Amino acid sequence: MKLAILLTATIKVQAVGGNFTVGERVKMYSSTLDYYAKAFGKKYPILYLENSDYDMSEFKEKYSKILDIEFIQFAPKGELSFDQSKGKSFNEYLMIKEGMLRSEIMKKCSHFMKITGRYAMLNINSVIKEIERRASNKVFMGDVKDTKLYELIGSKNYGRWGDSRYWVFDVQYYKDNMLDCYQEMDDSTLGMWAEDYFLKMSRKYRKDDRFIFRFRTQVLFNGITGMRTSADLAAGRYRQDSFSQRVKYVVRSILRRLFPFIWF
Among 34-38, 195-199, 260-264, where is mean pLDDT lowest? 260-264
Burial of 197 (0-12, 13-18, 19+ CB in 10 A): buried
**What's the whole-number mean pLDDT along residues 16-43?**
89
> pLDDT digits over 167-224, tens only?
999 999 999 999 999 999 999 998 999 999 999 999 999 999 999 999 999 999 986 6
Please state, for a pLDDT cut of 70, what percent of the chain lies above it: 83
pLDDT score recorded for residue 41: 97
Burial of 1 (0-12, 13-18, 19+ CB in 10 A): middle
CA pseudo-torsion sign 205, 206, 211, 217: positive
pLDDT score recorded for residue 146: 81
pLDDT score recorded for residue 154: 61
pLDDT score recorded for residue 224: 63
Q: Higher pLDDT residue, 150 or 99? A: 99
* pLDDT of 235 higher than 90: no
Helix and strand counts by DSSP (H, E) for the chain: 9, 9
> pLDDT digits over 90-141, tens only?
999 999 999 999 999 999 999 999 999 999 999 999 999 999 999 999 999 9
* pLDDT of 23 higher than 60: yes
* pLDDT of 65 higher than 70: yes
Contact yes or no for 124/183 (Cβ under 8 A):
no
pLDDT score recorded for residue 76: 83
For residue 105, give the nearest of 5, 180, 12 by alpha carbon.
Answer: 5
In DSSP terms, which residues pair with 224 in a beta bridge? 239
Contact yes or no for 5/32 (Cβ under 8 A):
no
* pLDDT of 231 higher than 60: no
Mean confidence (pLDDT) of the chain: 87
State how far the Cα of 191 lies from the Cα of 213, in Å rounded to an integer.
Answer: 19
Does the pTM exceed 0.75? yes
> pLDDT digits over 67-87, tens only?
999 999 998 877 788 998 998
In the sheet that holds 140-141, the strands lie side by side as 69-73, 46-50, 3-9, 111-116, 166-170, 140-141, 211-212
pLDDT score recorded for residue 234: 47
pLDDT score recorded for residue 150: 57
